[in-house]
Amino acid sequence: MKREKILIIDDDPNILFAVRMIFEKEGYSVVEANGGKDGLQMIESAKPDIVFLDVTMPDMCGLDVMKQMKERADVPIIIITGYGTMETAIKAIQLGAYEYITKPLDAEKIRLLVRRALETFQLKKKVEQLQLRLEKQVQPYVIIGNTPAMQEMYKTIGAITTTPNRTTVLLQGESGTGKELVAKAIHNNGPTASEPFVVVNCTVLPEDLFESELFGHEKGAFTGAVDRKIGKLELAKNGIIFFDEICEMSPKLQAKLLRLLQEREFERLGGNDVLKVHARFIVATNRNLEDAVKQKQFREDLFFRINVLSIHLPPLRERKDDLPLLVNHFIVKYNTILEKNITAIGPGVIEKLREYNFPGNVRELENIIERAMIICKGSVLTADAVDTTFSGNPSLREKNLLLGIEEIPLSNLEFHKARSDFLAKFEKKYLQELLTSAKGSITEAAKIAKVRRQSLYRMLKRHNLTAEQFHIT
């Protein structure tokens, strides 16, 4: 049976001896080098499975040694130093160090480090894996999924692209299911794909600016209108105009949109010319519009007008068989963005993801994979890396950790300071969960919290938060 080989590079004979004794007792094969240049020669001749590398050596800087080693062999390198600084630690991780530890060395810690490093780097040789189908470039607007629900959606998209632009499309689905992606798929696969795709975000624009953004205005139409402005309806030309979260429209704007859909013509603010609308309207919402109509929050006549061709986007919890495809897609995407080289999905990753219901849907899955890849070492995405980033169903202790109040010795603080710190952390966490629940809608969040919109805006500003951070299409 092959024994894993460890290369120790250090100019301190005491360190060489101590580390060799630790690993020989564990059954590893140990080779030594007392300087950087000797270490570089041994990386090719000895072919070690893991390297312990000192930073400060007389003949060569350990970071320079690591940089050259990375060009010659793909092995985990653990940096050791007696002079740990922030700059050295950051540089070591940037260059690809598996771990960075300071002297004096803890025997149990380095035993555990070696076991984990070897497991990570040898995982794809020991276990069955899901291999990634690498692509040269990730398509920016691709929809991922092969489950029956997704296949039905693809068929509907195909059917819609054969209809004239006068036919409005309604997209309904929870936040994070990809409504804008579906709208872009309709656009890109239709006969007017070369025309503009224009987005109108109904949660962002205040009512007094909405009409100007949508219809445009003439010079002098109102105070501050120093030039003519072309609105989004004109900019869309023969393409698509996509109304995101239409439920957030005020009753006044709902009435104007209804007339616009009926007449397909409008005037710029302050103008007299009647302009025709040639673009297709696609509207999206994360709420149940029928319920909104019953609650008098959405006009019934507008609902009937937009509910001509409708697509329901299934939540991720209803199509978990698509998880391997989605994880594969996001790894390929973030390999490029994060400059990673993850080439395989380790065992247990998909199973762990299947246990979760993803209230944030595909967008939440994407965030989980991105975070896991940031902390992942080696070329295999492991279940441990996913588990570290994965919220799941947090315990009370985990919730306290999220609030930042776990293990804080409050009794060591002056009373008013302790109370102020605790309440500030609570308030920020409450706002984050509130805006997530309200899908980024200030109106809905204020209603849930039973506070005024102005008060909510002030609290968000206090914690450097914005509603847009929580709006997911």
Say if strands 5-9 and 29-33 run parallel, antiparallel, or are unpaired.
parallel
What is the per-residue pLDDT for 218? 85
258 falls within a domain: yes
Residues 244 and 177 in one domain: yes
Mean pLDDT of 103-126: 77
**Residue bearing tokens 């809905």:** 444
Mean pLDDT throughout 284-292? 89
- Do the domain assignments include residue 143? no
Q: Mark whether 201 and 283 lie in a shared domain.
A: yes
The CATH number of whichever domain residue 220 belongs to comes to 3.40.50.300
pLDDT cut 70: percent of the chain above it: 86
Among 15-19, 163-167, 415-419, which stretch is predicted with the lowest mean pLDDT?
415-419
At residue 149, what are phi and psi to the nearest 5 degrees?
-60, -40
**Percent of the chain whose predicted confidence (pLDDT) is above 90:** 23
**Which band of pLDDT confidence, cut at 50, 70 and 90, is reported for residue 471?**
low
pLDDT confidence of residue 32: 92
Question: Does residue 141 lie in a domain region?
Answer: no
CB contact at 8 A, 426 and 461 = no
Residue 174 resides in a domain: yes
Residues 440/144, Cβ–Cβ less than 8 Å: no
Q: Identify the residue with better confidence: 283 or 390.
A: 283
Give 292-317 pLDDT, tens digit per residue.
Answer: 899 888 999 999 999 999 999 999 99
Residues 280 and 321 in one domain: no
pLDDT score at 123? 61
The answer on 158 and 302 residing in a single domain is yes
The CATH number given to whatever domain includes residue 357 is 1.10.8.60
324 assigned to some structural domain: yes
Q: Are residues 213 and 301 in the same domain?
A: yes
Predicted local distance difference test score (pLDDT) of residue 145: 87
pLDDT digits (tens, 9 = 90+) for 439-458: 788 888 888 887 777 778 87
* One domain, residues 275 and 333: no
CATH code at 108? 3.40.50.2300
Higher pLDDT, 415 or 375: 375
Number of structural domains found in the chain: 4
19 and 116 both lie in a single domain: yes
Instruction: Examine the domain organization and report whether 411 and 363 are in the same domain.
Output: no
| pLDDT over threshold 70, residue 2 | no
Mean pLDDT calculated for residue range 315-341 = 91
Show the domain range for 455. 398-470
Would the CA dihedral through 217, 220, 223, 224 be positive or negative?
Answer: positive
pLDDT score of 56: 85
Assign 330 a pLDDT band (cuts: 50, 70, 90).
very high
The verdict on residue 142 lying in a domain is: no
Please indicate, yes or no, whether residues 56 and 192 belong to a single structural domain of this protein.
no
Contact 213, 205 (CB under 8 A): yes
Query: Which of 34-38, 189-193, 422-426 is the least confident region?
Result: 422-426
Q: What is the mean pLDDT of residues 324-352?
A: 89
298 & 159 share domain: yes
Banded pLDDT at 417 (limits 50, 70, 90): low
* Cβ within 8 Å of residue 236, ≥6 positions away: 195, 196, 197, 198, 277, 278, 279
Q: Is residue 223 part of a domain?
A: yes
pLDDT digit string, tens, across residues 152-163:
888 888 889 888
Model confidence at 183, pLDDT cuts 50, 70, 90, reads very high
- pLDDT at residue number 402: 45
Same domain, residue pair 342 and 290: no
Range 416-426 average pLDDT:
68
- Res 407 pLDDT > 90: no
Contact 469, 435 (CB under 8 A): yes
Predicted confidence band at 142 (pLDDT cuts at 50, 70, 90)?
confident
- Which run of H or of E encompasses 312? strand 309-312
Last residue of a domain, one of 296, 313, 330: 313
Helix ranges (DSSP H) in 221-295 = 232-236, 251-263, 289-294
User: What pLDDT does 472 receive?
Assistant: 53
Residues 334 and 432 in one domain: no
Q: Residue 194: is its pLDDT beyond 50? A: yes
Q: Which of 251, 279, 313 is the last residue of a domain?
A: 313
pLDDT digits (tens, 9 = 90+) for 204-241: 777 778 888 888 888 877 777 778 888 899 999 999 99
Q: What is the pLDDT of residues 44-84, one digit of tens each?
A: 888 898 999 888 888 888 888 988 888 888 888 888 887 66
Q: Which residues contact 342 (CB under 8 A, 6 or more apart)?
A: 132, 331, 335, 373, 376, 379, 380, 381
Q: Which of 242-251, 291-300, 421-430, 441-450 has the lowest mean pLDDT?
A: 421-430
Max mean pLDDT range (36-45, 297-306, 382-391)? 297-306
Domain end residue (candidates: 334, 359, 389): 389
pLDDT value, residue 44:
83
Flag whether 268 is in a domain.
Answer: yes
Q: Which residue has the higher pLDDT, 468 or 28?
A: 28
